[in-house]
Amino acid sequence: MLQRSVLHCRPNLTLLSTHLTTSRSHLRCLSSSSSPPPPPSSTVSVVPPPQTLNAPTPKSFSTPLEAALHKQIQTLGPLPLPTYTSLCMTHPTFGYYTTSNPLASDLNKGDFVTSPGLSQAFGETLAAWACYNLKEFRYVEYGPGDGTLCSDFLRTMSQLNRRPSECYLIDESPILIREQHRTLGVTLDSYIHSKDDIPTQSIVVQTGLAKDGRTRVTWLKDLPPVNVKVPELIVCHEFLDALPAHVFQFKGGRWRERMVDINWEGEEEVKVEVNSQAYTGVKKQDLTEISKSSNLRLVLSQTPTPALKTLLKTDGKGISKLVPGKENEVIEIQPEALSLIQEFSTRISVNRGLALLIDYVGKGDTTRAFSDHEQVEVLERPGECDITVSCDYDQYEKEVEGKGAVCWRRGQGEFLVECGMGNRVQSLIESDDTTVEEANKIYAGFEKIVEDMKTFEVMVIGGESNIQGVKRGTPIGFK
Ligand SMILES: C[S@@+](CC[C@H](N)C(=O)[O-])C[C@H]1O[C@@H](n2cnc3c(N)ncnc32)[C@H](O)[C@@H]1O
Protein backbone atom coordinates (compact mmCIF):
# COMPACT_ATOMS: atom_id res chain seq x y z
CA MET A 1 0.00 0.00 0.00
CA LEU A 2 1.20 3.46 -0.77
CA GLN A 3 2.71 5.40 2.06
CA ARG A 4 1.48 8.97 1.72
CA SER A 5 4.66 10.16 3.31
CA VAL A 6 6.66 9.02 0.31
CA LEU A 7 5.89 12.28 -1.44
CA HIS A 8 6.12 14.59 1.52
CA CYS A 9 9.23 16.18 0.23
CA ARG A 10 10.10 17.10 -3.31
CA PRO A 11 10.13 13.68 -4.92
CA ASN A 12 13.49 12.16 -5.40
CA LEU A 13 13.23 9.80 -8.33
CA THR A 14 15.69 7.40 -6.84
CA LEU A 15 13.47 7.11 -3.79
CA LEU A 16 10.39 6.11 -5.69
CA SER A 17 9.33 3.00 -3.96
CA THR A 18 9.08 -0.33 -5.66
CA HIS A 19 6.62 -1.78 -3.23
CA LEU A 20 3.67 -0.80 -5.39
CA THR A 21 2.43 -3.57 -7.56
CA THR A 22 3.85 -2.50 -10.86
CA SER A 23 1.93 -4.32 -13.48
CA ARG A 24 3.78 -5.43 -16.56
CA SER A 25 4.20 -2.47 -18.81
CA HIS A 26 1.34 -2.59 -21.21
CA LEU A 27 2.01 0.93 -22.29
CA ARG A 28 1.98 1.62 -25.95
CA CYS A 29 5.47 2.88 -25.55
CA LEU A 30 8.16 0.35 -25.22
CA SER A 31 9.87 1.09 -22.01
CA SER A 32 13.51 0.21 -21.75
CA SER A 33 12.53 -3.27 -20.68
CA SER A 34 10.79 -3.99 -23.95
CA SER A 35 12.72 -3.58 -27.10
CA PRO A 36 11.71 -3.20 -30.70
CA PRO A 37 11.48 -6.35 -32.74
CA PRO A 38 14.89 -7.77 -33.58
CA PRO A 39 16.24 -6.93 -36.99
CA PRO A 40 15.65 -9.58 -39.59
CA SER A 41 18.37 -12.15 -39.78
CA SER A 42 18.46 -12.31 -43.51
CA THR A 43 16.94 -10.66 -46.48
CA VAL A 44 14.12 -11.25 -48.82
CA SER A 45 13.73 -9.59 -52.04
CA VAL A 46 11.16 -10.82 -54.32
CA VAL A 47 8.66 -8.59 -55.83
CA PRO A 48 6.65 -10.97 -57.89
CA PRO A 49 4.97 -10.47 -61.19
CA PRO A 50 1.25 -10.15 -60.87
CA GLN A 51 0.99 -11.16 -64.51
CA THR A 52 2.96 -14.41 -64.23
CA LEU A 53 2.44 -15.65 -60.71
CA ASN A 54 -0.79 -16.54 -59.12
CA ALA A 55 -1.46 -15.12 -55.76
CA PRO A 56 -2.49 -17.88 -53.46
CA THR A 57 -6.19 -17.95 -52.99
CA PRO A 58 -6.34 -16.76 -49.43
CA LYS A 59 -8.20 -19.12 -47.16
CA SER A 60 -9.60 -16.08 -45.54
CA PHE A 61 -8.62 -12.52 -44.98
CA SER A 62 -8.08 -11.49 -41.40
CA THR A 63 -9.70 -8.10 -41.98
CA PRO A 64 -11.55 -6.31 -44.80
CA LEU A 65 -8.54 -4.02 -45.18
CA GLU A 66 -6.26 -7.01 -45.76
CA ALA A 67 -8.53 -8.07 -48.62
CA ALA A 68 -8.41 -4.54 -50.07
CA LEU A 69 -4.61 -4.41 -49.73
CA HIS A 70 -4.25 -7.81 -51.37
CA LYS A 71 -6.21 -6.58 -54.35
CA GLN A 72 -4.28 -3.33 -54.53
CA ILE A 73 -0.90 -5.09 -54.46
CA GLN A 74 -2.01 -7.53 -57.16
CA THR A 75 -2.80 -4.55 -59.37
CA LEU A 76 -0.09 -2.05 -58.48
CA GLY A 77 2.71 -4.11 -57.00
CA PRO A 78 4.21 -3.98 -53.51
CA LEU A 79 3.48 -0.98 -51.32
CA PRO A 80 6.09 1.04 -49.48
CA LEU A 81 5.53 0.68 -45.73
CA PRO A 82 4.20 4.26 -45.27
CA THR A 83 1.41 3.59 -47.78
CA TYR A 84 0.50 0.40 -45.93
CA THR A 85 0.71 2.09 -42.53
CA SER A 86 -1.36 5.11 -43.58
CA LEU A 87 -4.08 2.84 -44.91
CA CYS A 88 -3.98 0.74 -41.74
CA MET A 89 -4.18 3.79 -39.48
CA THR A 90 -6.49 6.19 -41.25
CA HIS A 91 -8.31 4.38 -44.10
CA PRO A 92 -11.74 6.09 -44.00
CA THR A 93 -13.69 2.83 -43.68
CA PHE A 94 -11.25 0.26 -42.31
CA GLY A 95 -8.53 2.29 -40.55
CA TYR A 96 -7.48 1.69 -36.97
CA TYR A 97 -8.00 5.25 -35.72
CA THR A 98 -10.96 5.94 -37.99
CA THR A 99 -13.00 3.00 -36.72
CA SER A 100 -12.06 2.54 -33.08
CA ASN A 101 -11.09 4.23 -29.84
CA PRO A 102 -7.95 2.38 -28.79
CA LEU A 103 -7.19 4.54 -25.77
CA ALA A 104 -7.72 3.36 -22.25
CA SER A 105 -7.41 4.95 -18.85
CA ASP A 106 -6.72 1.55 -17.44
CA LEU A 107 -4.08 -1.03 -18.32
CA ASN A 108 -6.74 -3.72 -18.73
CA LYS A 109 -8.75 -1.93 -21.38
CA GLY A 110 -8.19 -0.64 -24.93
CA ASP A 111 -4.99 -1.24 -26.86
CA PHE A 112 -2.77 1.22 -25.04
CA VAL A 113 -2.75 3.85 -22.37
CA THR A 114 -1.01 7.21 -22.60
CA SER A 115 0.23 9.60 -19.90
CA PRO A 116 -2.86 11.86 -19.81
CA GLY A 117 -4.92 8.73 -19.04
CA LEU A 118 -2.47 7.67 -16.33
CA SER A 119 -2.43 10.93 -14.42
CA GLN A 120 -4.30 14.23 -14.49
CA ALA A 121 -1.14 15.77 -13.05
CA PHE A 122 0.60 15.21 -16.39
CA GLY A 123 -1.55 17.71 -18.30
CA GLU A 124 -1.80 20.02 -15.30
CA THR A 125 1.99 20.25 -15.08
CA LEU A 126 2.34 20.93 -18.79
CA ALA A 127 -0.35 23.61 -18.64
CA ALA A 128 1.38 25.36 -15.73
CA TRP A 129 4.66 25.17 -17.65
CA ALA A 130 3.04 26.68 -20.76
CA CYS A 131 1.37 29.50 -18.80
CA TYR A 132 4.69 30.34 -17.21
CA ASN A 133 6.54 30.41 -20.53
CA LEU A 134 3.96 32.18 -22.71
CA LYS A 135 1.97 35.20 -21.52
CA GLU A 136 -0.86 34.44 -23.89
CA PHE A 137 -1.27 31.79 -26.52
CA ARG A 138 -3.62 29.95 -28.78
CA TYR A 139 -3.66 26.22 -28.13
CA VAL A 140 -3.13 23.91 -31.11
CA GLU A 141 -3.04 20.16 -30.53
CA TYR A 142 -2.35 17.43 -33.06
CA GLY A 143 -3.85 13.99 -32.45
CA PRO A 144 -5.62 14.80 -29.15
CA GLY A 145 -6.85 11.21 -28.67
CA ASP A 146 -9.80 11.21 -26.29
CA GLY A 147 -9.26 14.90 -25.41
CA THR A 148 -7.98 14.29 -21.87
CA LEU A 149 -4.79 16.31 -22.25
CA CYS A 150 -6.63 19.29 -23.74
CA SER A 151 -9.28 19.10 -21.03
CA ASP A 152 -6.61 19.01 -18.28
CA PHE A 153 -4.91 21.98 -19.95
CA LEU A 154 -8.09 24.08 -20.13
CA ARG A 155 -9.08 23.27 -16.53
CA THR A 156 -5.64 24.17 -15.19
CA MET A 157 -5.47 27.35 -17.22
CA SER A 158 -8.83 28.40 -15.84
CA GLN A 159 -7.56 27.72 -12.28
CA LEU A 160 -4.66 30.05 -13.10
CA ASN A 161 -7.14 32.63 -14.42
CA ARG A 162 -5.98 32.05 -17.95
CA ARG A 163 -7.67 30.92 -21.13
CA PRO A 164 -6.21 30.18 -24.56
CA SER A 165 -7.20 32.85 -27.06
CA GLU A 166 -8.25 30.06 -29.42
CA CYS A 167 -8.21 26.29 -29.19
CA TYR A 168 -7.65 24.18 -32.30
CA LEU A 169 -7.63 20.41 -32.49
CA ILE A 170 -6.45 18.41 -35.50
CA ASP A 171 -7.37 14.76 -35.75
CA GLU A 172 -8.19 12.21 -38.44
CA SER A 173 -10.45 10.00 -36.41
CA PRO A 174 -14.19 10.73 -36.37
CA ILE A 175 -14.59 8.38 -33.42
CA LEU A 176 -11.92 10.10 -31.38
CA ILE A 177 -13.21 13.54 -32.39
CA ARG A 178 -16.57 12.50 -30.89
CA GLU A 179 -14.73 11.44 -27.72
CA GLN A 180 -13.03 14.84 -27.68
CA HIS A 181 -16.45 16.58 -27.88
CA ARG A 182 -17.57 14.51 -24.92
CA THR A 183 -14.45 15.00 -22.79
CA LEU A 184 -14.37 18.75 -23.43
CA GLY A 185 -18.14 19.06 -23.04
CA VAL A 186 -18.37 20.86 -26.36
CA THR A 187 -21.75 21.72 -27.78
CA LEU A 188 -21.21 22.00 -31.50
CA ASP A 189 -22.75 25.01 -33.11
CA SER A 190 -21.31 24.82 -36.57
CA TYR A 191 -20.21 22.34 -39.20
CA ILE A 192 -18.37 23.57 -42.22
CA HIS A 193 -17.46 20.89 -44.69
CA SER A 194 -16.12 22.73 -47.63
CA LYS A 195 -12.98 24.75 -48.03
CA ASP A 196 -15.03 27.40 -49.88
CA ASP A 197 -17.22 28.06 -46.88
CA ILE A 198 -14.52 29.85 -44.94
CA PRO A 199 -11.95 32.43 -45.82
CA THR A 200 -9.00 30.47 -44.48
CA GLN A 201 -6.68 27.88 -45.86
CA SER A 202 -7.66 25.27 -43.30
CA ILE A 203 -10.79 23.24 -43.49
CA VAL A 204 -12.86 23.73 -40.39
CA VAL A 205 -14.70 20.56 -39.59
CA GLN A 206 -16.59 21.52 -36.47
CA THR A 207 -16.63 24.18 -33.81
CA GLY A 208 -18.38 24.80 -30.51
CA LEU A 209 -18.02 26.10 -26.99
CA ALA A 210 -16.35 23.99 -24.31
CA LYS A 211 -18.10 23.30 -21.02
CA ASP A 212 -16.69 26.49 -19.46
CA GLY A 213 -19.01 28.28 -21.90
CA ARG A 214 -16.17 30.58 -22.97
CA THR A 215 -13.47 28.62 -24.78
CA ARG A 216 -14.24 28.04 -28.43
CA VAL A 217 -12.83 24.74 -29.63
CA THR A 218 -12.43 24.25 -33.36
CA TRP A 219 -11.54 21.04 -35.16
CA LEU A 220 -9.41 21.52 -38.26
CA LYS A 221 -7.92 19.31 -40.92
CA ASP A 222 -4.68 21.26 -40.90
CA LEU A 223 -2.91 24.02 -38.98
CA PRO A 224 -4.85 27.29 -38.74
CA PRO A 225 -3.51 30.34 -40.59
CA VAL A 226 -0.69 31.99 -38.65
CA ASN A 227 -1.72 34.87 -36.44
CA VAL A 228 1.39 37.00 -36.04
CA LYS A 229 -0.12 38.87 -33.09
CA VAL A 230 -0.74 35.84 -30.90
CA PRO A 231 1.90 33.23 -30.04
CA GLU A 232 0.76 29.66 -30.37
CA LEU A 233 1.50 26.58 -28.38
CA ILE A 234 1.57 23.52 -30.63
CA VAL A 235 1.21 20.29 -28.66
CA CYS A 236 2.00 16.84 -30.07
CA HIS A 237 1.76 14.15 -27.45
CA GLU A 238 2.31 10.65 -28.82
CA PHE A 239 1.20 11.93 -32.20
CA LEU A 240 4.36 12.00 -34.31
CA ASP A 241 5.03 8.31 -33.59
CA ALA A 242 1.77 7.55 -35.38
CA LEU A 243 3.00 9.07 -38.65
CA PRO A 244 4.31 6.55 -41.16
CA ALA A 245 7.98 5.85 -41.75
CA HIS A 246 9.88 4.57 -44.74
CA VAL A 247 12.15 1.75 -43.58
CA PHE A 248 15.45 1.35 -45.39
CA GLN A 249 17.80 -1.56 -44.89
CA PHE A 250 21.41 -1.87 -46.06
CA LYS A 251 21.75 -5.36 -47.48
CA GLY A 252 24.23 -6.88 -49.88
CA GLY A 253 26.22 -3.65 -50.13
CA ARG A 254 23.28 -1.37 -51.01
CA TRP A 255 20.27 0.35 -49.59
CA ARG A 256 16.85 -1.25 -50.11
CA GLU A 257 13.38 -0.33 -48.97
CA ARG A 258 11.02 -2.56 -47.05
CA MET A 259 7.79 -3.09 -48.95
CA VAL A 260 4.57 -4.91 -48.25
CA ASP A 261 3.95 -7.69 -50.68
CA ILE A 262 1.57 -10.57 -51.18
CA ASN A 263 2.64 -13.93 -49.86
CA TRP A 264 3.13 -15.24 -53.37
CA GLU A 265 3.50 -18.86 -54.22
CA GLY A 266 5.05 -20.33 -57.31
CA GLU A 267 8.20 -19.82 -59.29
CA GLU A 268 11.55 -19.63 -57.67
CA GLU A 269 12.94 -16.56 -59.33
CA VAL A 270 11.01 -13.67 -60.73
CA LYS A 271 11.42 -10.30 -62.35
CA VAL A 272 8.71 -7.75 -62.69
CA GLU A 273 8.07 -4.21 -63.83
CA VAL A 274 5.96 -2.39 -61.32
CA ASN A 275 5.21 1.30 -61.85
CA SER A 276 8.33 1.52 -64.02
CA GLN A 277 10.45 0.07 -61.25
CA ALA A 278 12.20 -3.16 -62.13
CA TYR A 279 12.34 -5.61 -59.26
CA THR A 280 14.35 -8.77 -59.57
CA GLY A 281 13.70 -11.76 -57.41
CA VAL A 282 16.08 -14.04 -55.62
CA LYS A 283 16.06 -17.80 -55.32
CA LYS A 284 13.33 -19.12 -53.18
CA GLN A 285 15.66 -21.08 -50.93
CA ASP A 286 17.41 -17.81 -50.08
CA LEU A 287 14.23 -16.23 -48.90
CA THR A 288 13.58 -15.48 -45.34
CA GLU A 289 10.70 -13.15 -45.01
CA ILE A 290 11.37 -10.19 -42.81
CA SER A 291 7.91 -10.71 -41.57
CA LYS A 292 4.79 -12.37 -42.86
CA SER A 293 1.20 -13.06 -42.14
CA SER A 294 -0.76 -15.72 -43.96
CA ASN A 295 -1.56 -13.39 -46.85
CA LEU A 296 1.06 -10.62 -46.77
CA ARG A 297 4.78 -10.36 -46.20
CA LEU A 298 7.50 -7.77 -45.91
CA VAL A 299 10.20 -7.81 -48.59
CA LEU A 300 13.12 -5.67 -49.65
CA SER A 301 13.08 -3.75 -52.93
CA GLN A 302 15.63 -4.92 -55.45
CA THR A 303 16.13 -1.59 -57.16
CA PRO A 304 16.16 1.92 -55.70
CA THR A 305 12.64 3.12 -54.99
CA PRO A 306 11.59 6.77 -55.32
CA ALA A 307 11.87 7.12 -51.53
CA LEU A 308 15.43 5.75 -51.53
CA LYS A 309 16.42 8.16 -54.26
CA THR A 310 14.83 11.21 -52.66
CA LEU A 311 15.32 10.59 -48.93
CA LEU A 312 18.66 8.75 -48.91
CA LYS A 313 19.77 10.15 -52.27
CA THR A 314 20.85 6.76 -53.51
CA ASP A 315 22.20 6.31 -57.01
CA GLY A 316 20.94 3.68 -59.43
CA LYS A 317 22.90 1.01 -57.55
CA GLY A 318 21.43 1.82 -54.14
CA ILE A 319 24.55 3.58 -52.86
CA SER A 320 24.06 6.73 -50.82
CA LYS A 321 26.64 9.44 -50.21
CA LEU A 322 24.52 10.75 -47.33
CA VAL A 323 24.48 7.50 -45.41
CA PRO A 324 27.21 5.04 -46.43
CA GLY A 325 25.50 2.17 -44.56
CA LYS A 326 26.71 -0.98 -42.79
CA GLU A 327 25.42 -4.47 -43.48
CA ASN A 328 21.92 -4.83 -42.00
CA GLU A 329 21.78 -1.22 -40.77
CA VAL A 330 18.21 0.06 -40.72
CA ILE A 331 17.14 3.68 -41.05
CA GLU A 332 13.60 4.94 -40.66
CA ILE A 333 12.49 8.29 -42.06
CA GLN A 334 9.11 9.90 -41.44
CA PRO A 335 8.66 12.48 -44.22
CA GLU A 336 5.33 13.77 -42.84
CA ALA A 337 6.76 14.26 -39.37
CA LEU A 338 9.84 16.04 -40.73
CA SER A 339 7.75 18.37 -42.81
CA LEU A 340 5.55 19.19 -39.80
CA ILE A 341 8.64 20.03 -37.73
CA GLN A 342 9.77 22.40 -40.46
CA GLU A 343 6.34 24.00 -40.53
CA PHE A 344 6.18 24.35 -36.72
CA SER A 345 9.62 26.00 -36.69
CA THR A 346 8.75 28.49 -39.39
CA ARG A 347 5.41 29.43 -37.78
CA ILE A 348 6.89 29.79 -34.35
CA SER A 349 9.64 32.08 -35.57
CA VAL A 350 6.85 34.38 -36.79
CA ASN A 351 4.36 34.18 -33.93
CA ARG A 352 6.85 33.78 -31.04
CA GLY A 353 5.21 30.60 -29.79
CA LEU A 354 6.43 27.18 -28.72
CA ALA A 355 5.98 23.63 -29.95
CA LEU A 356 5.90 21.00 -27.23
CA LEU A 357 6.58 17.50 -28.55
CA ILE A 358 6.50 14.49 -26.24
CA ASP A 359 7.08 11.02 -27.55
CA TYR A 360 9.16 7.90 -27.35
CA VAL A 361 12.42 8.29 -29.16
CA GLY A 362 14.70 5.82 -30.84
CA LYS A 363 16.57 4.98 -33.99
CA GLY A 364 16.97 2.05 -36.32
CA ASP A 365 14.51 -0.77 -36.66
CA THR A 366 11.64 0.45 -34.50
CA THR A 367 8.44 0.06 -36.53
CA ARG A 368 6.11 -2.13 -34.51
CA ALA A 369 2.46 -2.92 -33.92
CA PHE A 370 0.30 -3.30 -30.84
CA SER A 371 -3.01 -4.86 -30.07
CA ASP A 372 -4.63 -5.32 -26.70
CA HIS A 373 -1.50 -4.04 -24.87
CA GLU A 374 0.71 -6.64 -26.58
CA GLN A 375 3.22 -6.27 -29.36
CA VAL A 376 2.16 -8.04 -32.56
CA GLU A 377 3.49 -8.39 -36.12
CA VAL A 378 3.26 -5.26 -38.29
CA LEU A 379 1.29 -7.26 -40.86
CA GLU A 380 -1.13 -8.71 -38.37
CA ARG A 381 -4.82 -7.90 -38.88
CA PRO A 382 -4.31 -4.74 -40.96
CA GLY A 383 -6.51 -1.90 -39.68
CA GLU A 384 -7.07 -3.54 -36.31
CA CYS A 385 -3.65 -2.99 -34.73
CA ASP A 386 -1.79 0.16 -33.88
CA ILE A 387 1.38 0.66 -35.93
CA THR A 388 3.95 2.98 -34.46
CA VAL A 389 7.56 4.05 -34.77
CA SER A 390 10.03 5.60 -32.33
CA CYS A 391 10.68 9.25 -33.13
CA ASP A 392 14.21 10.14 -34.20
CA TYR A 393 14.63 13.52 -32.46
CA ASP A 394 18.08 13.95 -34.03
CA GLN A 395 16.42 13.96 -37.45
CA TYR A 396 13.72 16.31 -36.15
CA GLU A 397 16.32 18.67 -34.75
CA LYS A 398 17.96 19.05 -38.16
CA GLU A 399 14.64 20.25 -39.60
CA VAL A 400 14.50 23.09 -37.07
CA GLU A 401 17.86 24.48 -38.19
CA GLY A 402 17.75 27.54 -40.41
CA LYS A 403 14.05 28.24 -39.78
CA GLY A 404 14.52 31.00 -37.19
CA ALA A 405 13.86 28.63 -34.27
CA VAL A 406 15.94 26.45 -31.98
CA CYS A 407 15.10 23.42 -29.91
CA TRP A 408 15.72 22.08 -26.45
CA ARG A 409 15.42 18.46 -25.29
CA ARG A 410 14.98 16.74 -21.97
CA GLY A 411 14.01 13.29 -20.66
CA GLN A 412 10.29 13.20 -19.83
CA GLY A 413 10.75 12.21 -16.18
CA GLU A 414 13.31 14.92 -15.41
CA PHE A 415 11.31 17.53 -17.28
CA LEU A 416 8.08 16.82 -15.42
CA VAL A 417 9.73 16.66 -12.01
CA GLU A 418 11.56 19.92 -12.70
CA CYS A 419 8.24 21.47 -13.70
CA GLY A 420 6.70 20.43 -10.39
CA MET A 421 4.68 17.33 -11.22
CA GLY A 422 5.76 15.74 -7.92
CA ASN A 423 4.37 18.70 -5.96
CA ARG A 424 1.07 18.44 -7.80
CA VAL A 425 0.89 14.69 -7.22
CA GLN A 426 1.64 15.20 -3.57
CA SER A 427 -1.19 17.69 -3.15
CA LEU A 428 -3.61 15.38 -4.99
CA ILE A 429 -2.62 12.51 -2.69
CA GLU A 430 -2.95 14.64 0.41
CA SER A 431 -6.32 16.07 -0.54
CA ASP A 432 -9.06 15.17 1.94
CA ASP A 433 -11.21 13.99 -0.95
CA THR A 434 -8.67 11.36 -2.03
CA THR A 435 -9.22 7.81 -0.81
CA VAL A 436 -6.30 5.47 -0.16
CA GLU A 437 -7.17 3.52 -3.27
CA GLU A 438 -7.16 6.70 -5.34
CA ALA A 439 -3.89 7.81 -3.74
CA ASN A 440 -2.30 4.52 -4.78
CA LYS A 441 -3.50 5.02 -8.33
CA ILE A 442 -2.25 8.61 -8.44
CA TYR A 443 1.15 7.56 -7.17
CA ALA A 444 1.37 4.58 -9.53
CA GLY A 445 0.55 6.86 -12.51
CA PHE A 446 3.24 9.30 -11.43
CA GLU A 447 5.79 6.55 -10.97
CA LYS A 448 5.01 5.06 -14.35
CA ILE A 449 5.32 8.40 -16.14
CA VAL A 450 8.51 9.68 -14.51
CA GLU A 451 10.29 6.43 -13.74
CA ASP A 452 9.28 3.74 -16.21
CA MET A 453 8.80 5.64 -19.46
CA LYS A 454 12.51 6.03 -19.98
CA THR A 455 12.36 6.24 -23.75
CA PHE A 456 10.11 9.30 -23.64
CA GLU A 457 11.64 12.68 -24.36
CA VAL A 458 10.39 16.23 -24.48
CA MET A 459 11.40 18.47 -27.36
CA VAL A 460 10.55 22.15 -27.22
CA ILE A 461 10.89 24.30 -30.34
CA GLY A 462 10.83 28.08 -30.07
CA GLY A 463 12.59 31.34 -30.79
CA GLU A 464 15.98 31.87 -29.13
CA SER A 465 14.66 34.05 -26.28
CA ASN A 466 11.72 31.77 -25.49
CA ILE A 467 14.03 28.78 -25.36
CA GLN A 468 16.39 30.65 -23.03
CA GLY A 469 13.39 31.10 -20.73
CA VAL A 470 12.47 27.43 -21.00
CA LYS A 471 16.03 26.44 -20.12
CA ARG A 472 15.94 28.53 -16.95
CA GLY A 473 13.14 26.27 -15.68
CA THR A 474 10.02 26.93 -13.66
CA PRO A 475 10.42 28.77 -10.33
CA ILE A 476 9.52 26.75 -7.25
CA GLY A 477 6.87 29.30 -6.24
CA PHE A 478 5.03 28.71 -9.48
CA LYS A 479 4.97 24.99 -8.90
C1 LIG B 1 -1.55 7.49 -29.99
S2 LIG B 1 -2.90 8.51 -30.15
C3 LIG B 1 -2.39 9.76 -29.01
C4 LIG B 1 -3.55 10.46 -28.40
C5 LIG B 1 -3.24 11.55 -27.38
N6 LIG B 1 -2.33 12.56 -27.86
C7 LIG B 1 -2.71 10.94 -26.11
O8 LIG B 1 -1.54 11.04 -25.85
O9 LIG B 1 -3.49 10.32 -25.38
C10 LIG B 1 -2.65 9.25 -31.74
C11 LIG B 1 -3.66 10.32 -32.10
O12 LIG B 1 -3.30 10.86 -33.37
C13 LIG B 1 -4.41 10.78 -34.27
N14 LIG B 1 -3.86 10.56 -35.59
C15 LIG B 1 -3.20 9.47 -36.02
N16 LIG B 1 -2.77 9.67 -37.28
C17 LIG B 1 -3.17 10.91 -37.64
C18 LIG B 1 -3.01 11.71 -38.80
N19 LIG B 1 -2.36 11.25 -39.85
N20 LIG B 1 -3.53 12.96 -38.80
C21 LIG B 1 -4.18 13.45 -37.71
N22 LIG B 1 -4.36 12.73 -36.58
C23 LIG B 1 -3.86 11.49 -36.55
C24 LIG B 1 -5.25 9.65 -33.75
O25 LIG B 1 -6.60 9.73 -34.18
C26 LIG B 1 -5.09 9.85 -32.24
O27 LIG B 1 -5.95 10.86 -31.78
> pLDDT per position in the chain (479 positions), as tens?
333 222 323 333 333 332 222 222 334 433 333 344 333 333 333 344 444 445 555 668 999 999 999 999 888 888 999 999 999 999 989 999 998 888 866 666 777 889 999 999 999 999 999 999 999 999 999 999 999 999 999 999 999 999 999 999 999 998 999 999 999 999 888 665 544 444 444 456 789 999 988 899 999 989 999 999 999 999 999 999 999 999 999 998 999 999 998 887 644 444 443 333 333 343 333 333 556 677 898 888 888 899 999 999 999 999 999 999 999 899 999 999 999 999 999 999 999 999 999 999 999 999 999 888 888 889 999 999 999 999 999 999 999 999 999 999 999 999 999 999 999 999 999 999 999 999 999 999 999 999 999 999 999 999 999 999 999 887 765 55
What's the CA-to-centroid distance between 124 and ligand 1, angstroms?
20
Probe residue for ligand 1, chosen from 89, 220, 222, 239 as the CB with the greatest number of ligand atoms within 8 Å? 239
**Does 389 fall in a domain?**
yes
Task: Please check whether residues 322 and 357 belong to one and the same domain.
Answer: yes
Task: Please check whether residues 321 and 180 belong to one and the same domain.
Answer: no
Tally of domains in the chain: 2
What pLDDT is stored for residue 205 in this prediction?
75
Task: Please check whether residues 183 and 249 belong to one and the same domain.
Answer: no
**Does 303 fall in a domain?**
yes
Task: Please check whether residues 275 and 222 belong to one and the same domain.
Answer: no
What pLDDT is stored for residue 264 in this prediction?
72
Containing structural domain, residue 161: 138-230
What's the CA-to-centroid distance between 142 and ligand 1, angstroms?
7
What pLDDT is stored for residue 186 in this prediction?
94
CATH number reported for the structural domain that contains residue 304 in this entry: 3.40.50.12710
**Does 452 fall in a domain?**
yes
What's the CA-to-centroid distance between 105 and ligand 1, angstroms?
16
Is the CB–ligand 1 distance for residue 337 below 6 Å?
no
Is the CB–ligand 1 distance for residue 143 below 6 Å?
yes
Probe residue for ligand 1, chosen from 84, 85, 97, 456 as the CB with the greatest number of ligand atoms within 8 Å? 97
Is the CB–ligand 1 distance for residue 144 below 6 Å?
yes
Is the CB–ligand 1 distance for residue 173 below 6 Å?
yes
What pLDDT is stored for residue 102 in this prediction?
86
Domain boundary among 178, 198, 230: 230
Minimal-distance CA residue to ligand 1 atom 13? 143
Minimal-distance CA residue to ligand 1 atom 11? 143
Domain boundary among 209, 230, 251: 230
**Does 163 fall in a domain?**
yes
Is the CB–ligand 1 distance for residue 388 below 6 Å?
no
Nearest atom within ligand 1 for CA of residue 148: 9
What's the CA-to-centroid distance between 115 and ligand 1, angstroms?
14
What's the CA-to-centroid distance between 172 and ligand 1, angstroms?
7
Is the CB–ligand 1 distance for residue 286 below 6 Å?
no
Task: Please check whether residues 286 and 378 belong to one and the same domain.
Answer: yes
What pLDDT is stored for residue 108 in this prediction?
65
**Does 391 fall in a domain?**
yes
Nearest atom within ligand 1 for CA of residue 28: 1
Is the CB–ligand 1 distance for residue 399 below 6 Å?
no
Domain boundary among 179, 198, 230: 230
Is the CB–ligand 1 distance for residue 114 below 6 Å?
yes
Q: Mutual orientation of helices 120-133 and 464-472 as an angle, nearest 10°?
A: 130
* 192 backbone dihedrals φ, ψ, rounded to 5°: -125, 120
**Does 373 fall in a domain?**
yes
Task: Please check whether residues 255 and 351 belong to one and the same domain.
Answer: yes
Task: Please check whether residues 256 and 364 belong to one and the same domain.
Answer: yes
What pLDDT is stored for residue 265 in this prediction?
65
Task: Please check whether residues 244 and 279 belong to one and the same domain.
Answer: yes
- Cα(449)–Cα(426) distance, integer angstroms: 15
Task: Please check whether residues 51 and 93 belong to one and the same domain.
Answer: yes
Minimal-distance CA residue to ligand 1 atom 16? 242
Task: Please check whether residues 282 and 417 belong to one and the same domain.
Answer: yes
Task: Please check whether residues 107 and 202 belong to one and the same domain.
Answer: no
In sequence order, the 6+-apart residues with CB closer than 8 A to the CB of 456 are 29, 358, 359, 360, 361, 411, 412, 413
**Does 467 fall in a domain?**
yes
**Does 479 fall in a domain?**
no
Minimal-distance CA residue to ligand 1 atom 25? 173
Task: Please check whether residues 373 and 300 belong to one and the same domain.
Answer: yes
What's the CA-to-centroid distance between 378 and ligand 1, angstroms?
18
Is the CB–ligand 1 distance for residue 147 below 6 Å?
no
